[in-house]
Amino acid sequence: MRATLPDDIRQIFELQRQASRAQPDVPLTLRRERLLRLSKLLDEHGPALAAAVQADFGMRSPRLTEVADLFVLRAQLAHSLRHLARWIKPVRVRTPLFLQPASGWIERQPLGVVGVISPWNYPVQMALAPAIGALAAGNRVMVKPSEFTPHTSAQLAALVAQFFAPDEFCVVQGDAATSALIASLPFDHLVFTGSTAVGRKVAQAAAANLTPTTLELSGKSPAIIDADCDLQDAALKIAHGKLLNAGQTCIAPDYVLLPRGNEAAFAEAYRAAVARLFPYFEGHPDYASIITPRHLARLRSMLQQAQTLGAQVQLLQPVPGSPPAPPQGIGDGVGRQMAPVLVFGATPGMQLMQEEIFGPVLPVLAYERLDDAIAHINAGPRPLALYWFGRSDAARDAVLRGTVSGGVSVNDTLMHITHVNLPFGGVGDSGWGAYHGEAGFLRFCHQKSVLAQSRWSLGSLIYPPYGARFDRVMALLRRLV
């Protein structure tokens, strides 16, 4: 990866800023053309991007990148292109009686220049999804991808430069110092996806310029199993959500809450589900590796601490008769394909219950009553996602009313992020602001209020000097509001 020099970043930012100020009104045709260029980039170079992601992870199927990165982006692009003409229209609003015959409307204008600091776990999707909303809204965009995915970052930088002028859309490369520089620039909006700890630093840096931010910060997303749910179906969907990308997903189920006494039944159902999805792990082409040795060491340290403190750690084994593990030299990431783990008896003091796990480790906690599960969730920071499995509408609604989370999937995991009409974002420690679809378009717009006064306005009736006439007018207005 060739890092972009700080002076070059500042120069590109200034080009984008000047271009945005010179063209505050971006026509529909240009916005659509930019989105179509991005769509063409994905159509023509999707395989190259998937290969770059594979190179960065060591082991990650291009098919996983196709469904989790490229397809999500294609759906967002198609949705934006389909609805953009409606989104950009001024919105007429009803004028109060006391202001009539004036009229009012809201104009949706580009903010200007939007910065995006994206993570490594879905390096194509998370870099380009905010850019889709920002470009649809008429903005210029600068993306800084993660240094942990250097092949993908370099490929994105080259392809975006091929399809866009630098003052429209560009990708800059670098390490954490480059991210800190991006956060310090006076963007009109800044999007960051990553940990809560780094998100706080990004927000502080942006605040110096009064730059509004969208922070997607993840957290500990619970999966609640109700007493009457189909346990095998729930286990399969939880296993899929947990093990997609080897658990390195911001909305992966972080832990399970289930009625006490069902622990053994869930463990058996989860093992069967994992065996169906991944009969073996090391060398499996569809099972992603942990991104770096350091990240793998962190996961192993978590498990060692939990075991030392009394938790029961159950390592899932390959199905008998599965292909033997390949030699370590085959595939850079084979040695980092971590087998899934169930953890029972986890306690609040353990690291894996205090931090987002971000790996194929699943703690299972028992509860006596549904209210206890809700209380457990509410005792911690608000999660980015929440999952509920069951048949009772009353229990489902009790969970929805009793908890606050960024988003929810009922009787499934992850899928709410793919719904183009649902905003995606966090709340509290899991972030703020949302994007995707129209919500993303609006996030990157300035909604300018306009009141057009009529020549027949009676506003002068409340001008000074104040007196008896003013009192009569105000008495009338009080009756009208």
- Listed residue (249, 250, 244, 248) closest to 278, CA to CA: 244
Task: Output b/e per residue, 221-240; b: 16+ Cβ within 10 A.
Answer: bbbbbbeebebeebbbbbbb
Instruction: Tell me which long-range contacts 212-215 makes (C-beta under 8 A, separation of at least 24).
Output: 212/188, 213/189, 213/432, 213/433, 214/130, 214/189, 214/190, 214/425, 214/431, 214/432, 214/433, 214/434, 214/435, 214/443, 215/191, 215/426, 215/431, 215/432, 215/433
- Has 216 been annotated as catalytic? yes
279 — phi, psi (to 5°)?
-60, -25
Residue 123 exposure: Cα atoms within 13 Å on the Cβ side: 30
Of the residues 168, 170, 229, 250, only one is catalytic, namely: 250
* Structure token pair of residue 449: 């209020």
Is residue 170 part of the annotated active site? The answer reads: no
Identified catalytic residue from 216, 282, 356, 438:
216
The answer to whether the CB of 307 falls within 8 A of the CB of 347 is no
Phi (first) and psi of residue 13, to 5 degrees: -60, -45
Joined together, the tokens standing for residue 265 give 């039944």
* Contact present, 391 and 228 (Cβ < 8 Å): yes
* Cα dist from 330 to 61, 83, 285, 408, whole Å: 15, 47, 12, 39
The token duo for 90 is 């001024």
Please give the Cα distance from 132 to 137 (Å, whole number).
9
For residue 14, which amino acid is it? E
- Alpha carbons 288 and 91: distance in angstroms, whole number: 46
Q: In a 10 Å sphere around its CB, with 0-12 CB exposed, 13-18 middle and 19+ buried, how is residue 68 labelled?
A: buried
Positions annotated as catalytic residues are 216, 250
